[in-house]
């Protein structure tokens, strides 16, 4: 039996610029693929036009290029995949695996994000309703390459979840699973903020007959004051002229060595060395970036 060739991906959402946390995820994903001569694909997760920031797509592509994170083939755009998503939603709905939900946000407020199943057997029409997938009363588990064993009981901890919103837009959970399978992704390397989304994705993969990829969730970058570095909190866009120092900081956040002579290297040179020395087993489950490495 031949093992399919490593295919990784980076899947930014164009709701903002890339920040340091996204660089850490992109770099880990790129290195993990390139260290084994694997492929690395880029997918723009532009499923939500109202939340897209004008100019963000181009800026993201440009930043990746400037930082030397080259991808293979064409960029995939989720906004061009709506027909594929629609046919899967139709199929799941027609099979009774998904159903229409008319609950308002207000009605669900008291349930802490776990859907209480109000519309499960209501037989609502699809028009103007969200579509939810029925989850089984089962625990989904996997072994993450950095975070170790992770498990979640879908019925108790998540509940039936939305795959298509009331406004017709497709949910991340559905799009990501369909596109990872469509692009032949064998390895998913991404931020640990998505760890608790993974069991939902495992369930959809199982339901749709897809192969389960391997997972590596890189630590969230926590600032010295305890705040997560994210889109909403003090996350300056990555500057093109800071590529080398920021790549070195990102490597340190991933537990990798950064030989002193790399300080004056080009981004491509930094990446070539990092690729040859890549040690994913040195990634910590949690990282606090020293104050000095944030500015
Ligand atoms: N689009 C997601 C983000 O920007 C990443 C999704 C994924 O890697 O599965 O956080
Ligand atoms: Zn409902």
**Span from the CA of 157 to the centroid of ligand 2 (angstroms):** 17
What is the pLDDT, as a whole number, of residue 1?
Answer: 45
Q: Where in the chain is the domain with CATH 3.40.50.620?
A: 3-79+183-192+212-294, 82-173
Angle at 289 between CA 285 and CA 295, to 5 degrees: 150
Find out whether the beta carbon of 173 lies less than 6 Å from any atom of ligand 1.
Answer: no
Least confident among 59-73, 130-144, 223-237: 223-237
Question: For the residues 70-92, what does the mean pLDDT come to?
Answer: 98
Give the rounded percent of residues in the chain with a pLDDT score beyond 70.
92
What is the pLDDT, as a whole number, of residue 287?
Answer: 76
* pLDDT band with cut points at 50, 70 and 90 for residue 258: very high
> Taking 80 as the threshold, does the pLDDT of residue 164 lie above it?
yes
* pLDDT band with cut points at 50, 70 and 90 for residue 290: low
pLDDT tens by residue, 192-215: 999 999 999 999 999 999 999 999
Locate 37 and state its tokens.
């001569």
Which bound ligand lies closest to the C-alpha atom of 15?
Answer: 1
Q: What is the pTM of this model?
A: 0.94
* pLDDT band with cut points at 50, 70 and 90 for residue 286: confident
**CA pair distance 290, 261, nearest whole angstrom:** 21
> Taking 50 as the threshold, does the pLDDT of residue 81 lie above it?
yes
Locate 208 and state its tokens.
């749709």
Cα 133 to its chain centre, rounded Å, is 20
Question: Average pLDDT of the chain?
Answer: 93
Query: Do residues 193 and 164 make contact, with C-beta atoms less than 8 angstroms apart?
Result: no
What is the pLDDT, as a whole number, of residue 173?
Answer: 98
Helix (H) or strand (E) holding 59: helix 56-66
Nearest CA owner, ligand 1 atom 5 = 11
Find out whether the beta carbon of 176 lies less than 6 Å from any atom of ligand 1.
Answer: yes
Q: State the closest ligand 1 atom to the C-alpha of 197, by its place in the atom list counted from 1.
A: 9
Strands 148-153 and 139-144 turn out to be: antiparallel
Would you say domain 82-173 falls under CATH 3.40.50.620? Answer: yes
**Span from the CA of 122 to the centroid of ligand 2 (angstroms):** 9
Beta bridge partners of 77: 44
> Taking 70 as the threshold, does the pLDDT of residue 36 lie above it?
yes
Angle at 279 between CA 273 and CA 282, to 5 degrees: 130
pLDDT tens by residue, 223-247: 667 666 654 445 678 998 999 999 9
Question: For the residues 101-110, what does the mean pLDDT come to?
Answer: 96
**Span from the CA of 82 to the centroid of ligand 2 (angstroms):** 23
Give the rounded percent of residues in the chain with a pLDDT score beyond 90.
88
What is the pLDDT, as a whole number, of residue 222?
Answer: 75
**Which of 27, 46, 191, 193, when mutated, tests ligand 1's pocket best, judged by the most ligand atoms within 8 Å of its CB?**
191
Nearest CA owner, ligand 1 atom 7 = 11
> Taking 70 as the threshold, does the pLDDT of residue 294 lie above it?
no
| CATH of the domain spanning 3-79+183-192+212-294 | 3.40.50.620
Dihedral pair phi/psi, residue 56, rounded to 5°? -65, -40
**CA pair distance 256, 237, nearest whole angstrom:** 23
Q: What DSSP letter does each residue of 20-50 carry, written as one string?
A: HHHHHHHHHHHHHHHTTT-EEEEEE----GG
Which bound ligand lies closest to the C-alpha atom of 107?
Answer: 2
Length of the chain: 295
């Amino acid at each position: 039996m031949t093992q399919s060739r490593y295919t990784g991906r980076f899947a930014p959402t164009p709701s903002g610029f890339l920040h340091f946390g996204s660089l850490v995820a992109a770099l880990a994903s790129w290195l993990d693929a390139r260290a084994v001569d694997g492929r690395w694909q880029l997918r723009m997760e532009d499923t939500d036009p109202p939340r897209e920031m004008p100019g963000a797509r181009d800026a993201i592509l440009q930043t990746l290029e400037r930082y030397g994170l080259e991808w293979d083939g064409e960029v995939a755009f989720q906004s061009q995949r709506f027909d594929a998503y629609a046919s899967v939603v139709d199929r799941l709905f027609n099979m009774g695996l998904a159903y229409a939900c008319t609950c308002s946000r207000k009605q669900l407020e008291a349930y802490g994000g776990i859907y209480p199943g109000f519309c499960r057997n209501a037989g609502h029409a699809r028009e103007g309703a969200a579509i939810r997938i029925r989850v089984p009363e089962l625990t989904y588990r996997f072994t993450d390459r950095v975070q170790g064993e992770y498990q979640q009981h879908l019925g108790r901890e998540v509940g039936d979840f939305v795959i298509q919103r009331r406004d017709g837009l497709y949910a991340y959970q559905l799009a990501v699973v369909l596109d990872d399978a469509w692009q032949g992704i064998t390895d998913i390397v991404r931020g640990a903020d998505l760890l608790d989304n993974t069991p939902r994705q495992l369930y959809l993969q199982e339901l749709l007959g897809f192969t389960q990829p391997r997972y590596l969730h890189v630590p969230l970058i926590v600032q010295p004051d305890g705040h997560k570095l994210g889109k909403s909190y003090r996350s300056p866009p990555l500057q093109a002229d800071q590529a080398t120092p920021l790549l070195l900081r990102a490597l340190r956040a991933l537990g990798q060595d950064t030989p002193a002579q790399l300080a004056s290297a080009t981004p491509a040179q930094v990446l070539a060395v990092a690729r040859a020395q890549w040690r994913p087993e040195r990634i910590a489950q949690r990282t606090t970036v020293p104050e000095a490495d944030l500015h």
